[in-house]
Structure 1
Amino acid sequence: MQKGRLIRLAENDREQIPFIFDGQPFHGLAGDTVLTAVLMVTGALRQAEFGPEKRAGFCLMGACQDCWIWQEDGRRVRACSTPLKAGMRLCSAVPDSWPTMPEYGEKA
């Protein structure tokens, strides 16, 4: 089992919620945020934009913008305030495809 940055000390009997992170299957628990679920199984959410450092969220309450990660379809989520949902497919790096925005003139 992979060691994460966070350790769950209580409430281990909640329903398991499956998700994918960087192509690997994991599970969190019902009521977890994306940040909690990911940091339970790995040490970081993503790499810093301007250096080799790894990022794992900073304020943990939606103010600092440090916890943005991607879904496989290119949409971004704020990990600290997004509830984990079954089947989420999350990425620590920008995925190969970005969503199109027809309302801004992009072709679908």
Structure 2
Amino acid sequence: MNPVLPFLEIEASSAPRVEVRFDGAPLLLPLGANLAAALLAARIERFRDTPVSGAPRAPFCMMGACFDCLVEIDGVQRQACMIEVAEGLQIARAGSPEVRHVAS
């Protein structure tokens, strides 16, 4: 196991790779893998920004409790850690700068 980035072991998976898009860029991820883990293994380090401060967020709990892995999947905001990789997913960072609130 890689003690620094354990999710990188997904890269060695023998599962077939399928194409998904993250913010419009194509990625080949292992079919059926946990989406949050697969995105981390693909070196995606920022899944969303907090609505108040704009601070970057990424998976934390990996079990659906914290919502830090929230992304937009096919137009619906979902927790990436609760989704399996499937061919053709259209994934985008959750939230947009147009609706971000800036703390005073």
Q: What range is the shorter-chain TM-score in?
A: 0.7 to 0.9
| 1:12-91 map, 5 Å | 12-41=13-42, 42-71=44-73, 73-91=74-92
Greater per-residue helix proportion: 2
TM-score, length-scaled by structure 1: 0.71
Q: Which has the higher contact order (CA 8 A, sep 6+)?
A: 2
User: What CA deviation, in whole Å up to 9, does each residue of 1:27-69 have, x standing for no partner?
Assistant: 1112212211221221121112222321112111111122211
Unaligned runs of at least 5 residues, structure 2: 97-104
TM-score using structure 2 length: 0.73
| TM-aligned CA deviation for residue 92 of structure 1 | 0.6
| C-alpha RMSD over aligned residues | 2.4
Unaligned runs of 5+ in 1: 96-108
> How many Å separate the matches in 2 of 1:30 and 1:85?
6
Sequence identity of aligned pairs in percent?
26
Q: Which residue of 2 aligns with 1:100?
A: none
